[in-house]
Amino acid sequence: MDNIIDGRLIASKIKEEIREFVRLRKENNKREPMITSILIGKDEGSIYYINSQEKIALSLGCKFKKILLEEDIEEEHLINIIEELNNDEEVDGIIVQLPLPQRLNEKKIVNTISPKKDIDCLTYINQGKLFAGEGEIIPCTPKSVLSLLEKSDVNLEGKNVTVIGRSNIVGKPVAQLMLSKNATVTICHSKTQTLKEITRKADIVIVAIGKPKFLTKEYVKEGAIVIDVGTSSLNGKITGDVDFEEVSKIAKLITKVPGGVGALTTTLLIKNACEALERNENENTNCNGVK
Ligand code: NAP
């Protein structure tokens, strides 16, 4: 099918760009990007994710440091570790794997990360900048949605985009990004009435609700573009929010699950670290006059 947006292929192109970025830095005697990822406890999903971050970062020529901490760590101790990383000039990106154990104050801990190194865009400062239209660091899942559209040469200007889902980590930032590209954006959620009528008017439907195969062809106009962010487990298989079999027959372009949005996110996390490194170096040059 030639209407599938291939997330893995687009990820491999972005990986090439990152490799080239690191290669050029080394050629100019500059250091590699360095990412640190903090994991508290032994959650299996988080261990899998942190290992995959490490594998991709190293394969792209970046440095990566895992900080594995015990489940019963004191909040002050964790905050001290993050502050040390904030002050370490050789660290460009800091990731804290969420969720944290319930007894820890997640908001306080996350907002200890320096906004300049917050490559997951978890701090209030970076989220505020994003919603002010001045985002420097874009969170990876929304950035993946935008990259899939842009690398498929979709011009968003003036398009009717409907985003289904309004979470702080996906729906709202996706909608904001689409707005920043001059799309006309409608945000829907579980209390939206006449959802089908709204989505059938959209040129682009982005769905992030966590309901397997929810979006059937009745929700989509012929020739629309459909981006599926959902990842749920259905009969032991990772399944998206879109009924792919049906909708792929009428969509102009469509993503698959797996192999769509999720295929890019870790690569984009590393890209955020590369961009942070460049931005912070340039800022230092501007402030001090020398570097
Ligand atoms: P979430 O926090 O649970 O939010 C779900 C949103 O969907 C809410 O805004 C909810 O509305 C809305 N919703 C639920 N049922 C609906 C319905 N029947 N009609 C319309 N709207 C409905 O989930 P999330 O964190 O945003 O994640 C959404 C999905 O994306 C999940 O499957 C998650 O696993 C996946 N995800 C994938 C990636 C990736 O890299 N591929 C990354 C992050 C998340 P209300 O606000 O009214 O409750």
Amino acid present at 195: L
Q: Where are the alpha helices (DSSP H) in the chain?
A: 7-27, 44-59, 75-87, 106-110, 124-131, 140-151, 171-180, 195-199, 244-247, 265-288
Contact predicate 185/161, CB 8 Å: yes
Nearest CA to ligand 1 atom 2: 167
> Residues enclosing ligand 1, CB less than 6 A?
141, 164-167, 169-171, 188-192, 208-211, 229-232, 261-262, 265
Every domain range in the chain assigned CATH 3.40.50.720: 140-261
Residue 7 and residue 43: Cα distance in Å, rounded? 27
Position 71 confidence tier, pLDDT thresholds 50, 70, 90: very high
103 in a labelled binding site: no
The response to whether 167 counts as a known ligand-binding position is yes
pLDDT for res 285: 53
Superfamily of the domain at 14-114: Leucine Dehydrogenase, chain A, domain 1 (3.40.50.10860)
Out of 1.10.287.3510, 3.40.50.2300, 3.40.50.720, 3.40.462.10, select the CATH number for domain 140-261: 3.40.50.720
The Cα angle at residue 174 between residues 198 and 40, in degrees rounded to 5: 135
152 and 5 Cβ atoms separated by less than 8 Å: yes
The 10 Å Cβ neighbour count of residue 9 is 12
Give the pLDDT confidence score for residue 1 in this predicted structure: 76
- Establish whether 289 is an annotated binding residue: no
C-alpha of residue 282 to centroid of ligand 1, in Å: 37
In tens, the pLDDT along 116-170 reads 999 999 999 999 999 999 999 999 999 999 999 999 999 999 999 999 999 999 9
Question: Residue 209 Cα, ligand 1 centroid: separation in angstroms?
Answer: 3
Distance of CA 111 from the midpoint of ligand 1 (Å): 24
Which atom, in ligand 1's list, is nearest to the CA of 166?
9
pLDDT band at 291 (very low <50, low <70, confident <90, very high): very low
- 166 annotated to bind ligand: yes
Q: Which two three-digit tokens encode residue 227?
A: 């981006």
Residues of each domain in the chain carrying CATH 3.40.50.10860: 14-114
* Closest C-alpha to ligand 1, atom 42: 141
Question: Global pTM?
Answer: 0.95
